[in-house]
Amino acid sequence: MNDDKNRAATAAQLTLDITRAQRIGFDEAIFGRGKSTEQLDEIITQLSAGDGRGLITRLEPAAFAALPVHTRRHLDYDSVSRTAILGVPHEVTAEERIGVITAGTSDVPVALEAVRTLRYYGEVAYESYDCGVAGLWRLLDRVEALRSLSVVIAVAGMDAALPSVVGGLLPGAIIAVPTSTGYGVAAGGTSALHATLASCAPGVVVVNIDNGFGAACAALRMVRAT
């Protein structure tokens, strides 16, 4: 009886945006951090009762492990990106249109958040990691493959030089994702954010620090507009 009351109380606190896809073409994404186990379980239950599909971001491993076994069973969870996909992702597009690259391995969790978001929406991304300009040959080896893509998401911390360099080499849209990777004056990604905003490469657009999800959604808007 108490469990039923708790579920009812939790459900009363939740109002999912079930018509978002009809308005803007994106399902409601659930930001997992800060939500209780009961709230997450109820959200997943409501999504399952709808079209049976959903995307959860920033779901920490401990929060995933705390979910009931029957709930976890329905989630494709990745602990590196801290994303969970409920149900079957959208139908895969035939063409590889979006790339996700990183300056270093420490940027991969943010990059994978973008990759997993793209996969949820049916886009299989071209992935290339450790392309940082401190070893410029690594990026130059990949330029020809990157040139064929409509959008490249460049994920970088520290001085975040990577988005500016690819912005000077590639014709497609460039989305910079500054990350919190770095020492001292990197200031949790603030230096990378300022560097990307001040990029001299024309047309580079920038999302918030560590926002792989937002970068993926921006890339999807771009390829859908063409």
CB atoms within 10 A of CB 107: 30
Percent of the chain with pLDDT strictly greater than 90: 79
pLDDT greater than 90 at residue 50: no
CATH topology of domain 98-225: Rossmann fold (3.40.50)
Q: Would the pLDDT of 5 be above 60?
A: no
Which single residue is written with the structure tokens 């109820």?
A: 42
How far apart CA 226 and CA 45 sit, in angstroms, is 36
Return the closest-CA partner of residue 76 out of 28, 120, 39, 38.
120
pLDDT at 13: 74
The domain locations on the chain are 2-86, 98-225
Report the C-alpha gap between 226 and 222 in whole angstroms: 7
pLDDT of 110 reads: 98
- Check whether 1 has a pLDDT greater than 70: no
Q: What percent of the chain has pLDDT over 70?
A: 95
Cα 108 from Cα 81, distance rounded (Å): 8
> Burial, 188: exposed, middle or buried (Cβ in 10 Å; 0-12, 13-18, 19+)?
middle
> Which pTM was predicted?
0.91
